[in-house]
Structure 1
Amino acid sequence: MSVKFQQETVQQVVNQAPESLRAETKELVHNIGERLTGGSTANGYLTLYLRQLQSNPMRTKMVTSGVLSGLQEFLASWIAHDVGKHGHYFSSRIPKMMLYGTFISAPLGHLLIGILQKLFAGRTSLKAKVLQILFSNLIISPIQNVVYLSCMAVIAGARTFHQVRATIRAGFMPVMKVSWITSPLALAFAQKFLPEHAWVPFFNIIGFIIGTYVNTHTKKKRLEALRKHYDQRRGPGGEY
């Protein structure tokens, strides 16, 4: 009788465990979401961030872009298994990318998006939105991508104008193709759902995702080329 009672007790505990775990997980997710958004209050992290965007727009954008740029480089190195000379993923490129994001990308984005918003202020027709997307893709994106590729070339070690120009020529169209695919969708989303002061951080996040992908792909290609070169040197008749 005692053994049967113990078995039933154990079975009840086992049956209740998943329900308890699901309830705790649901409560945890709810608490995290409420803390991020503030729920019915105005104290969430997202609310505080948007408030900072309105009160200190440039500073907030610079910090956001700097952090995302550094994180992008670290993630790309980690995904591509691009280990530095000291045996870890934190390289000198990370602080350089943070400087780029803080002092170049954010101010440039603030200026260009500001111009875009002023040109189309108060114009909500479908034609105006289409023109805004075209202006963004044909003028703003090329400027940002040229600056991005130039800075990436310098960070990677380019020291002459010809080296920077070669990097831009090699990478401009591939980057523009990605921009032409993602930018219209991102801008249409921003037009529909976001306040204007949140556009630059939103585009920073989009750029972070795209930049991480492009950076990872570039690192993998470079590592593959280095491995092939190393294998050729070790091959029959190669140099040691």
Structure 2
Amino acid sequence: MSIAKRGLQQYLLQLQQHPLRTKALTAGVLSAISDIVSQKLSGVQKLQIRRLLLKVLFGFAYLGPFGHYYHILLDKLFKGRKDSTTVAKKVVVEQLTSGPWNNLIFMLYYGFVIEGRSWIHVKSNIKKEYPTVQYAGWTFWPVIGWINHRHVPLQFRVIVQSFVAMCWGIFLNLRARSKTLTKD
């Protein structure tokens, strides 16, 4: 048996035995990858380790656990059904609740914790950037939500979402970086 196959089996076993911990760790690792790629694509010569660790913390302490409980709640509310009507309702609920919430929480965390900005600056940035970020989210995440709720088993939804969030994080970071560069 190959190392990759054994690793996958061990991961699936951990996911089954310790779902919350495994999803939190996965979200943390994928947040790290997202930030490393973002930093490198934006031209950073030396990785900003503090920023990287803070992104890992966000993924581990917030994204993984939030996603874990949110998907369980949605599945309970909609009784685990996967018909088109139910999936559409799940996607709408997700896009009206967790989508806007997660974008706001990320922008607050990024402004306060990662950048160390004051409330005035964070509030101003959110006021200016949040509508655009949320609109972009609403053009992208419903498709992911549909696929996730329709075709992905409950225990893997947070992992799929975390993987896509890794790509979304790269987009948000590069978008923030390009805004900063155009102001200089």
Q: TM above 0.5, one fold?
A: yes
For residues 127 and 72 of structure 2, what CA distance do their matches in structure 1 show? 28
Judging changes above 3 Å, is the alpha-carbon distance between structure 1 residues 164 and 94 closer, same or farther for their aligned structure 2 residues? same
Number of residue pairs the alignment of both structures matches: 183
Q: Quick check: 1:75–1:212 contact (8 Å CA) kept in 2?
A: yes
CA shift at 1:82, angstroms? 2.9
Q: Which residue of 2 aligns with 1:95?
A: 53
Q: Which residue of 2 aligns with 1:16?
A: none
Q: Quick check: 1:113–1:200 contact (8 Å CA) kept in 2?
A: yes
Listed as ranges, the matches of 1:33-182 within 5 Å are: 36=4, 38=5, 43=6, 45-83=7-45, 88-154=46-112, 155-160=114-119, 162-182=120-140
State, as a whole percentage, how many aligned pairs show the same letter: 23
Indicate the SS of the match to 1:69. helix
Structure 1: 4+ residue segments shifted above 6 A: none
Q: Which runs of 5+ in 1 are unaligned?
A: 1-30, 227-240
Judging changes above 3 Å, is the alpha-carbon distance between structure 1 residues 153 and 174 closer, same or farther for their aligned structure 2 residues? same
The residue type equivalent to 1:150 in the other structure is: L
For residues 114 and 189 of structure 1, what CA distance do their matches in structure 2 show? 17
For residues 176 and 60 of structure 1, what CA distance do their matches in structure 2 show? 28
For residues 82 and 39 of structure 2, what CA distance do their matches in structure 1 show? 42
Moved more, 120-129 or 68-77: 120-129
Q: Quick check: 2:82–2:150 contact (8 Å CA) kept in 1?
A: no
For residues 161 and 79 of structure 2, what CA distance do their matches in structure 1 show? 19
Indicate the SS of the match to 2:97. helix
The CA RMSD over aligned residues, in Å, is: 2.0
Scaled by the length of structure 2, the TM-score of the pair is 0.88
CA shift at 1:192, angstroms? 3.4
Scaled by the length of structure 1, the TM-score of the pair is 0.69
Q: Quick check: 1:137–1:180 contact (8 Å CA) kept in 2?
A: yes
Structure exhibiting the larger radius of gyration computed from Cα positions:
1
Judging changes above 3 Å, is the alpha-carbon distance between structure 1 residues 170 and 49 closer, same or farther for their aligned structure 2 residues? farther
